[in-house]
Amino acid sequence: MRPSRQRDQVRQRPAGPGQPMAASLDELQAKAAAVHEALPWIKRLSGRTVVVKYGGAAMGTAGFDAFVDDVVLLRYVGVDVIVVHGGGPEVSQLMARFGKEPVFVDGHRVTDAETMDLARMVLVGRVNKTLVGRINTHGRLAVGLSGEDGLLLVARPRVDPGGRDLGYVGDVDAVDPTALRALTDKGLIPVVATVAAGPQGQPYNVNADAAAGSLAAALGAEKLIYLTDVEGLYADLADPGSLLQQLTVAEVEAILAGGRVAAGMVPKLSGIVTALRGGVRRAHVLDGRREHALLLELFTDSGVGTMVSSEPEGFGEPHDGPAGRRIGTSAPDGPGAAPTGREVEA
C-alpha cells in the first residue's frame, strides 16, 4: 500500500547535521486548523462578488506576489473576484520621461490630451498587463480591460469649483457591468484599468478608488476592498495607535464631512460610501504591502485593517477569534444561510 503523504513527512528524518527537521504531527495539525478556520468564510463568500482595488502605492512592495496568489485562491474557492487597479506613480514617471510636470488640483491630476494619452498607455498597456500576466502564471484566469471596453465606465467632465481647467478629468457617471459579468460567469478574473469613456467616447481620467466603489455598487458586490500602503484608516494619520478597526458607513460620512482625512484616503472613503449606500455590505481598507492581507481579512477569525459596515447590527460578522479584535457572534450565518451559488446574487 502507498503510504500517505503525511506519514511520509512525519517519518522523514533529517539527513544529517544542519538539515531541517520534518514537520511534526502537531505542526501539521496546526496547519490543518488554519485551513479549517477558513471554512465558514469560504461558505459565505463562495458564489459572491468581491471587488478588490489594488493601489499604485502598494505596487512593487513585498505584498504584490502574495496579492496575486490570494486573488487566484479566491477564484478557486468560487468567489467572483474583480480587480481594479491604480497606477498614479507610474503615470507620473512616464510624464517625467516626456518632460511633463504632474500638476494636481484637489488630488486630481490635471490631464491635457497628451497626459491622457500617456496615462492610458501606462494604465491599460503596462500596469494592467503586468497584473494580468502575473495572475495568468496560474493558468488562463485573468482578462484585462479598461473602463472604455463595453462602456464599463462612462465619465462626465469634472467641473472644478475654483474654475480651473482640469482637462480630461471626469467623475463616474454610469457603470455597465455587462462585460464584467460575461467574464466572471466563465470563471475568469476581470482586471480593470480605470480609464473611462467620455461624453464623445474619448478617454477620460477617473479616480480608481471612486471607480471601484461605483463598480462594487453596480455589481451588487458582497465586499469592496482597498489595498493600499497604510494599515487602514487612522483617526490621526500621525498617530500609529489611532487605527480605526470598525466603523459604520454613517461614521465614515461624518469623518468625510469633518474634513479629518486627507490625500489618498478621501476618494477611498467616498468610494466606500458609494458602495455601501448602493447595497454592498462591507468595505475594508487593508495594507497591501503586507503579505496575504486579503487572506488575513477574508479567511481568518480576527481580520486586519479597517472594516466599514453598512449598518451597526451588521457587526455580526465574526472577528472575535483568539485575538478578540472585534466584537460579534462567532459564526457568520446559521445553517442553511450560506450562499449556495450564483443564484443568491441580487
Minimum distance of ligand ADP from residue 49's CB (angstroms): 21
Q: Which one of 127, 153, 172, 233 is in contact with ligand ADP (CB under 6 A)?
A: 233
Our separate counts of H helices and E strands in the chain read 12, 14
* Angle (CA) 252 320 248, round 5°: 10
Q: Please, what is the minimum distance in Å from the beta carbon of residue 219 to Mg ion?
A: 21
Distance separating alpha carbons of residues 111 and 169, to the nearest angstrom: 6
We find the least distance from the C-beta atom of residue 231 to Mg ion, in angstroms, to be: 16
237 sits near ligand ADP (criterion: CB under 6 A): yes
Q: With binding defined as CB under 6 A, does residue 293 bind ligand ADP?
A: no
- Nearest distance in Å: CB 34, ligand ADP: 28
SS3 content of the chain, % helix, strand, coil (to 5): 40, 20, 40
Residue 79 engages ligand ADP in binding (rule: CB under 6 A): no
Q: Please report whether residue 264 would count as binding Mg ion according to CB under 5 A.
A: yes
**Region 17-76 residues binding ligand ADP, contact defined as CB under 6 A:** 55-58
271 binds Mg ion (CB under 5 A): no
Quote the DSSP letter at residue 44: H
When binding is defined by CB under 6 A, the residue of 176, 229, 251, 333 that contacts ligand ADP is 229
Q: The cell 503586468 sits on which residue?
A: 130
Of 56 and 318, nearer to ligand ADP (C-beta) is: 56
Of 141 and 208, which has the nearer Cβ to ligand ADP?
208
Contact with ligand ADP (CB under 6 A): which of 261, 276, 286, 307?
261
Query: 220: closest CA among 178, 278, 181?
Result: 278
Q: Which stretch binds ligand ADP (CB under 6 A): 1-9, 141-149, 231-239, 324-332?
A: 231-239
Residue 255's H or E segment, with its range, is helix 249-258
Our finding on whether 213 is near ligand ADP (CB under 6 A) is: no
Q: How far is the CB of 236 from ligand ADP (least distance, A)?
A: 7
Q: Specify whether the CB–CB gap between 110 and 119 falls below 8 A.
A: no
Closest to 303 (Cα-Cα) out of 246, 222, 230: 246
Q: Which residues pair with 54 in a beta bridge?
A: 85, 227
Shortest Cβ distance from residue 329 to ligand ADP (Å)? 29
Site for ligand ADP in 86-115 (CB under 6 A): 86
Determine, following the binding rule CB under 6 A, whether residue 262 of this chain makes contact with ligand ADP. Answer: yes
Record the cell numbers describing residue 49, joined without a space: 462578488
Residue 120 or 319: the one with the smaller Cβ distance to Mg ion is 120
Cell of 206: 477617473
- The cell for 70 is 490570494
Contacts of 300 (CB under 8 A, 6+ apart): 37, 38, 41, 321
Using CB under 6 A, pick the residue from 95, 265, 280, 286 that binds ligand ADP: 265
Question: Shortest gap between Cβ of 14 and ligand ADP (angstroms)?
Answer: 44
- Asked if 120 and 195 touch (Cβ cutoff 8 Å), the reply is yes
Q: Which does 230 bind (CB under 5 to 8 A by kind): ligand ADP, Mg ion, none?
A: ligand ADP
- Cell triple for 288: 497591501
Sequence-distant (6+) residues with CB within 8 A of 246 are 306, 307, 308, 309, 315, 319, 326
Applying CB under 6 A, the span of 73-81, 129-137, 228-236, 315-323 interacting with ligand ADP comes to: 228-236
Min separation Cβ 297 and ligand ADP, Å: 16
Radius of gyration of the chain (CA): 22
Q: Which residues bind ligand ADP (CB under 6 A)?
A: 55-58, 86, 209, 228-230, 233-234, 237, 261-265
Q: Which residues bind Mg ion (CB under 5 A)?
A: 264
